[in-house]
Chains A and B, each alone.
Chain A
Amino acid sequence: DAGVTQSPTHLIKTRGQQVTLRCSPKSGHDTVSWYQQALGQGPQFIFQYYEEEERQRGNFPDRFSGHQFPNYSSELNVNALLLGDSALYLCASSNRDRGGTGELFFGEGSRLTVL
């Protein structure tokens, strides 16, 4: 049973560029959430997708957008990259009916470096 998988694991971009990160949820899960984790900080909630729609959003600008596909996988897109976007981007999956503080499964993340 595959857990949450994310790609790529590492990538380097320059300021102003755009990036797309991908996530496949754990088998049986239908909800995907994205988190940004800066160095030395805890993860910060970006947004959540369920039934291919954004359901909740944290305090992130519109440069951060996402998508969920019919197979429940998801993408996180960040436009006009800033140096401050350098972070570990984590995807977490859950089942809608069970999603909550005890039912999130995280991937190992995509480490983005913006130069």
Chain B
Amino acid sequence: LAKTTQPISMDSYEGQEVNITCSHNNIATNDYITWYQQFPSQGPRFIIQGYKTKVTNEVASLFIPADRKSSTLSLPRVSLSDTAVYYCLVGPQTGANNLFFGTGTRLTVIP
């Protein structure tokens, strides 16, 4: 599974848009990009997944450039409850459970 690189931490004020970028230079042709969110003492929770261009759901947007060597998770108008660790994962959409999480990005939302 391809390894990923993300910023260790980010701070943002409430109501702002937050963009977290992930580098995955060795992404394979059949790999998808998936983001998980984790609150303290809880298991990770799926946020969004994409293969190319842009994906949007009720929680976030995921932007993937044409070369797919990076991706950006965008959280619109963050609130204090969005304070969490965000993990970028790269791997097959199906058939692989041995996910590589890395250390993630710790997002702190400030009032």
Number of residues on chain A facing chain B (CB within 8 A): 32
State A44–B41 Cα separation when bound (angstroms): 15
The A-contacting residues of B in range 16-46, CB under 8 angstroms, are 32-34, 41-46
B111 within 8 A of A: no
A-B contact count (CB 8 A): 83
**Which residues on B sit within 8 Å (CB–CB) of A58?**
98
A48's partner among B33, B97, B102 (CB-CB below 8 A) is B97
Known interface pairs A101-B34, A101-B89, A102-B49; A33-B41 also in contact (CB < 8 Å): no
Q: Taking beta carbons and an 8 Å cutoff, which residues of B are in contact with A?
A: 32-34, 41-46, 49, 85, 87, 89-104
Q: Taking beta carbons and an 8 Å cutoff, which residues of A are in contact with B?
A: 4, 31, 33, 35, 40-45, 48, 56, 58, 88, 90-92, 94, 97-109, 111
